[in-house]
């Protein structure tokens, strides 16, 4: 609830005088406008709405007869900005008290006219603002329910709940609060070993918490073009492929990948970020004498020269070398004489 200083006043008007709110109020975040006016003569009340505070998009007026009691008016929020106007159309005023209040929650009136009969639902409320209903709730006839929540929690405490449905006859609870379901007719293909099978149509089912795999088969078949099955044997995972184990060579080739990148193009040098590799081959050609030195970096910014280098003399030519046991995150070449050339790195 907010009192408007722009659209409230206690200054009486002379005959044919007007009170126009000092400025527009932004009412976008409110649900209702409440106006109380005490005046000893009649007046004309005008509600002014605007979208931009410059142009009047909508306004409406009502003529109010003289009344010794304070009058209350409840009007809707029809636009973004609001302004109030009061015109003295029935002579000089000796009393004028205008109070404009914006409310975030709509109010409701009973058959009385006193403002104390306006009520807003404030309880009983749960912590999240929802209304709590207690006691017995009886619904008669046809009831339509529009549920907008993403989920609906239902706590059934009755000893028996009867459901009229072509498939369900009765839901009941035993003494241990277990739910018993009596089914009228079930396709026999859904009954297996005296149990009810459930067909899952979802693409995936989220699983949380601990999951027991004690009832899983010793060997699990795998639907894949390369894998045939996986099984556990004394805390060891056995993986078999579908072609006499020729498609899977070793676990290193499965979790790691080969790659190639260009390190030198003309005189432009490029830093290369390496994945989890163990060996790399650096090769290429330069057009003149220079010293190519391999540099390592932990972050791709700060590079440090290593002992791996090749001294190209004369008119240059082809070069190539292998570095085994490589664990650097980034590598780069240093071209001492800035000669033209190409260089590549293959890693695995």
**Rounded-to-integer distance, Cα 57 and Cα 78, Å:** 10
Structure-token pair, residue 300: 């791709």
**Rounded-to-integer distance, Cα 41 and Cα 92, Å:** 8
pLDDT tens, residue by residue, 132-162: 555 666 666 666 666 665 566 666 555 555 5
Torsion of CA 178, 179, 180, 184, to 10 degrees: -170
* Residue 85, SS3 per DSSP: strand
Minimal CA–CA distance to 169: which of 187, 181, 186?
Answer: 181
Angle at the Cα of 288 from the Cα atoms of 286 and 292, rounded to 5 degrees: 55
pLDDT tens, residue by residue, 106-117: 766 554 444 444
Structure-token pair, residue 245: 């184990």
Mean pLDDT to the nearest integer, 169-181 = 71
335 and 285 in contact (C-beta within 8 Å)?
no
pLDDT score, position 31: 86
Rounded to two decimals, the pTM is: 0.35
| Statement: residue 47 has pLDDT above 90 | yes
Q: Report all structural domains of the chain as residue ranges with CATH numbers, in order of start.
A: 2-108 (2.60.120.260), 221-255 (no CATH), 259-347 (2.60.120.680)
Mean pLDDT to the nearest integer, 220-238 = 64
* Helix (H) / strand (E) containing 219: strand 219-221
| Statement: residue 102 has pLDDT above 60 | yes
């Amino acid at each position: 609830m907010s009192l408007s200083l722009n659209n409230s006043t206690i200054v009486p008007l002379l005959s044919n005088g007007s009170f126009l709110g000092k400025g527009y109020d932004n009412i976008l975040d409110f649900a209702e406008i409440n106006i109380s006016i005490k005046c000893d003569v009649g007046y004309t009340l005008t509600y002014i709405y605007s979208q931009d505070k410059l142009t009047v998009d909508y306004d409406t007026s009502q003529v109010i007869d003289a009344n010794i009691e304070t009058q209350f008016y409840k009007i809707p929020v029809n636009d973004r900005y609001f302004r109030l106007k009061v015109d003295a159309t029935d002579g000089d005023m000796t009393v004028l008290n205008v109070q404009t209040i914006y409310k975030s929650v709509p109010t409701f009136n009973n058959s009385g006219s006193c403002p104390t009969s306006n009520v807003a639902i404030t309880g009983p409320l749960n912590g999240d603002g929802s209304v709590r209903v207690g006691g017995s709730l009886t619904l008669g006839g046809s009831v339509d329910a529009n549920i907008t929540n993403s989920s609906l929690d239902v706590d059934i405490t009755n000893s028996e709940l009867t459901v009229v449905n072509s498939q369900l006859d009765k839901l009941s609870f035993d003494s241990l609060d277990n739910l018993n379901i009596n089914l009228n007719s079930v396709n026999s293909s859904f009954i297996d070993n005296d149990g009810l099978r459930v067909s899952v149509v979802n693409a995936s089912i989220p699983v949380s918490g601990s999951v027991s795999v004690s009832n899983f088969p010793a060997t699990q078949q795998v639907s894949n073009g390369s894998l045939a099955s996986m099984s556990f044997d004394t805390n060891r995972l056995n993986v078999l492929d579908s072609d006499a184990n020729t498609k899977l060579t070793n676990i290193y080739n499965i979790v790691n990948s080969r790659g190639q990148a260009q390190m030198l193009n003309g005189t432009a040098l490029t830093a290369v970020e390496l994945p989890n590799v163990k060996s790399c081959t650096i090769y290429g050609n330069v057009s003149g004498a220079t010293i190519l030195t391999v540099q390592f970096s932990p972050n791709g910014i700060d590079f440090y020269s290593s002992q791996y280098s090749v001294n190209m003399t004369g008119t240059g030519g082809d070069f190539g070398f292998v570095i085994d046991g490589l664990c650097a995150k980034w590598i780069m070449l240093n071209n001492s004489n800035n000669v033209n050339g190409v260089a590549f790195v293959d890693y695995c």
